[in-house]
Structure 1
Amino acid sequence: MEERVLHFKRRVLANLTGYGLEGESRLAKHIEKLQAGSYPAQGGKKLYTAEDSRQIREVDAPWPLPKFDRPEVLAFFYSKGGVGKTTICANIGVTLAAAGNRVLLIDTDPQASLSLLFDVDVDQEIYTLGDAVEAVIHDKPADFRKGLIRPIKDLQLDLLPADNRLVWTDMLMVQAQYREKLVEQVFICNQALLEEYDFVLIDTPPSVNSLSFSAVAASNRIISVVQLSKMAIKASGNLFKLARELKKGTGRVVPITFIPNMLHGGKPHTRSTLDIIRASIDSESSSKVGITATVIPEYVGLARPKGHEDGQKTLLEAEPLSLTTQKFIELSREIETLAMLDRGDENHG
């Protein structure tokens, strides 16, 4: 497997740190002061890494790096497949990490789509969240550090992969007591490890089962991706039902944030789609439900098939200066803001 790296040009660094094109001259002063960046071995313009983003955002940047005493856990959940949930989870994870955050991705889908996107050989023996859950059920150590993979060099992004054995994990959980708290128990067992991260992103299977319910119960917020499809929008009913069951079982109201995906501003039915989503939100006024200001546009680059000549890459790796990549940078800023709001709610809750 070829080693993946993520080095980017100054314009991308400017976008990630909030300077933008108009602030590149100010950014240049910080680059010089911090001695950020390095020249590639074969020559050419200076390139930068996530560590440069982190240093600049910690010193002085239009978009400062948030400080968390514990990770923000986000469960990417929707009960319909094919809406782009896994792709968006991966792109947000990489973008957050490139902007200087420490990110852990957890794949809980037996199809292992997130793991495959990062070139994990799921046919090899790997340690998954399912192994950790089974360990907790049988009162054994549940250390998933040994299962972590760092798929992109120079990026503080780790992945706990998945494989098809998670189907059996879900069946085992059905028979367990307090199954909605099992993932939370795994996190407690791995608290010291989790404190090394700013964000934990959980990609759940496209169905309501014991594992996805437990993952949502262990999260600070549900991230739900919706597309321009009646079936996809109707599936939000299952999401709201899950949230109500979670409140009934644990007493917690987990905030829900919708990310509209594959929408095109030039299409007249885009506005009606957003109106339908907002109407669904209004009907759930008792819950903390919202929709991102950033809408992911309809773009073929988000659906790279297996065997593509560039491989399965996130947009920041493949097309760092595209408009859709910029949308993910804007979306990552919204995610950071939501994380800070969640901290405020916890402090005043």
Structure 2
Amino acid sequence: MHTATEYARLGAPGSLADTDTPIAREAAAALMAVGRSRIPMPKPDAPRVMVVANQKGGVGKTTTAVNLAAALAVSGLRVLVIDLDPQGNASTALGIDHHAEIPSIYDVMIEEAPMGTVVQKVEGFETLWCVPATIDLAGSEIELVSLVAREARLRNAIEAHVKAEPYPYDYVLIDCPPSLGLLTVNALVGGDEVLIPIQCEYYALEGLSQLLKNIDLVRAHLNQDLAVSTILLTMYDARTRLAAQVAEEVRKYFGDTVLKTTVPRSVRISEAPSYGQTVMTYDPASSGALSYLEAAREIAERGAGSARRGIEEQA
């Protein structure tokens, strides 16, 4: 916990530094959050297409995708979120309507509609957009089986929309379903980097080996440029020894691929989607918002090239 004096050194007005009380700390934290969000993050030379994947449910995958996207956007970067989960949770968190009749990623992948026809602007952000997912996507795994180039449907759509000149986005974040089916394979084929959220609990690494095997298979046969660039520790509870042990093990195994920033357990992060918001707008001074802001800054500062070490170096 920072003191008010420490917050003041980070840019809070001097009057808050004089009173080290809970109210002063909260006020200083809010000012720090606003100040940090206004510091520009470096723009990549080309769009970074990042796949947020982990087939284990409940690890903060969708939460990470939407909050990192919002954190990048509030810093002035142009961000597109592609919701590839039939549950549409990313669309919900961004306040995007996604009932069955809404044009969605299903139309792009199955009907080959141009991605530009389904992109929606996210309210409250100048530089954040979303491709929503509807319940129609639930049957797409079966429909994709018989289609030509079934693993590359998303990649073709992304290349036509995102990677065309001039580049319309700095970042594209693809939120995957909690499975290793054709939707996730499409995301891995269409992306350049993989971001894996790992929950700081006992079963954190369970099933991760299968995800890494699938990534290796996709790299070998369908997308040789794919790399696991980022691992983010989520739901970190500093009060427990278990969380520290899991974090230590993950850092020991994956090295510099793991971000220095960890995302704590936060009621504010959990509450935000029920209001159709990310935590960045719901409570920008909360520990969750500050953590995602710092994680986004780490990702932006690392850059695509320098972030490709991690797992590949350990192979």
1:105 matches 2:105: no
In 2, the alpha carbon distance for the partners of 1:117 and 1:96 equals 16
Q: Render the CA deviation track for 1:223-278: whole Å, top value 9, x for unaligned.
A: 11111333342121122111111122133442242111111223111222123324
Q: Report the counterpart of residue 283 of structure 2 in structure 1.
A: 319
2:48 counterpart letter in structure 1 = E
Q: Render the CA deviation track for 1:260-310: whole Å, top value 9, x for unaligned.
A: 11112231112221233245537xxxxxx821110111222221287x5xx
**Same amino acid, percent of matched pairs:** 24
In 2, the alpha carbon distance for the partners of 1:193 and 1:123 equals 32
Q: Report the counterpart of residue 77 of structure 1 in structure 2.
A: 53
- Contact kept? 2:81, 2:173, Cα under 8 Å: yes
Q: Render the CA deviation track for 1:44-67: whole Å, top value 9, x for unaligned.
A: xxx9xx9x999x75xxxxxx5423
Q: Report the counterpart of residue 122 of structure 2 in structure 1.
A: 151
1:262 matches 2:235: yes
1:329 counterpart letter in structure 2 = L
Q: What TM-score do you get using the length of structure 1 for normalisation? A: 0.72
1:293 matches 2:257: no
Q: Which deviates more, 148-157 or 100-109?
A: 148-157
Q: Report the counterpart of residue 331 of structure 1 in structure 2.
A: 295
Q: Report the counterpart of residue 223 of structure 1 in structure 2.
A: 195
In 2, the alpha carbon distance for the partners of 1:124 and 1:181 equals 24
Q: Report the counterpart of residue 275 of structure 1 in structure 2.
A: 248
The 3-state SS of whatever aligns with 2:97 is coil
Q: Report the counterpart of residue 22 of structure 1 in structure 2.
A: 9
Structure 1 residues 305 and 152, CA, compared in 2 at 3 Å: closer, same or farther? closer
- Contact kept? 1:260, 1:296, Cα under 8 Å: yes
Q: What TM-score do you get using the length of structure 2 for normalisation? A: 0.79
Q: Render the CA deviation track for 1:31-52: whole Å, top value 9, x for unaligned.
A: xxxxxxxxxxxxxxxx9xx9x9
Calculate the aligned-residue CA RMSD, in Å. 2.9
Which residues of 2 match residues 175-186 of structure 1 at below 5 A?
Answer: 175-186=146-157
1:99: Cα distance to partner?
0.7
Q: Which deviates more, 94-103 or 257-266?
A: 257-266
Structure 1 residues 123 and 323, CA, compared in 2 at 3 Å: closer, same or farther? closer
Structure 1 residues 92 and 163, CA, compared in 2 at 3 Å: closer, same or farther? same
In 2, the alpha carbon distance for the partners of 1:186 and 1:147 equals 11
1:318 counterpart letter in structure 2 = Y
The structure 2 residue matched to 1:90, chosen from 57, 61, 66, is: 66
The 3-state SS of whatever aligns with 1:324 is helix
The count of aligned residue pairs is 282
1:206 counterpart letter in structure 2 = P
In 2, the alpha carbon distance for the partners of 1:69 and 1:271 equals 36
Q: Report the counterpart of residue 211 of structure 1 in structure 2.
A: 183
Q: Report the counterpart of residue 172 of structure 2 in structure 1.
A: 200
1:303 matches 2:303: no
- Contact kept? 1:74, 1:222, Cα under 8 Å: yes
Q: Report the counterpart of residue 125 of structure 1 in structure 2.
A: 101
2:282 counterpart letter in structure 1 = A
1:94 counterpart letter in structure 2 = A
The 3-state SS of whatever aligns with 1:296 is strand
The 3-state SS of whatever aligns with 2:260 is coil
The 3-state SS of whatever aligns with 2:110 is helix
1:164 counterpart letter in structure 2 = I
1:178 counterpart letter in structure 2 = A
Name structure 2 gaps, 5 residues minimum.
1-6, 14-30, 310-315
1:84: Cα distance to partner?
1.1
1:339: Cα distance to partner?
2.9
1:165 matches 2:136: yes
- Relative contact order, CA 8 A, sep 6+: which one is greater? 2
Q: Render the CA deviation track for 1:167-218: whole Å, top value 9, x for unaligned.
A: 2222222223433222111112224388211111110100001111111121
- Contact kept? 1:246, 1:252, Cα under 8 Å: no
In 2, the alpha carbon distance for the partners of 1:167 and 1:320 equals 34
1:326 counterpart letter in structure 2 = L
Structure 1 residues 193 and 118, CA, compared in 2 at 3 Å: closer, same or farther? farther
1:319 counterpart letter in structure 2 = D
Structure 1 residues 305 and 344, CA, compared in 2 at 3 Å: closer, same or farther? closer
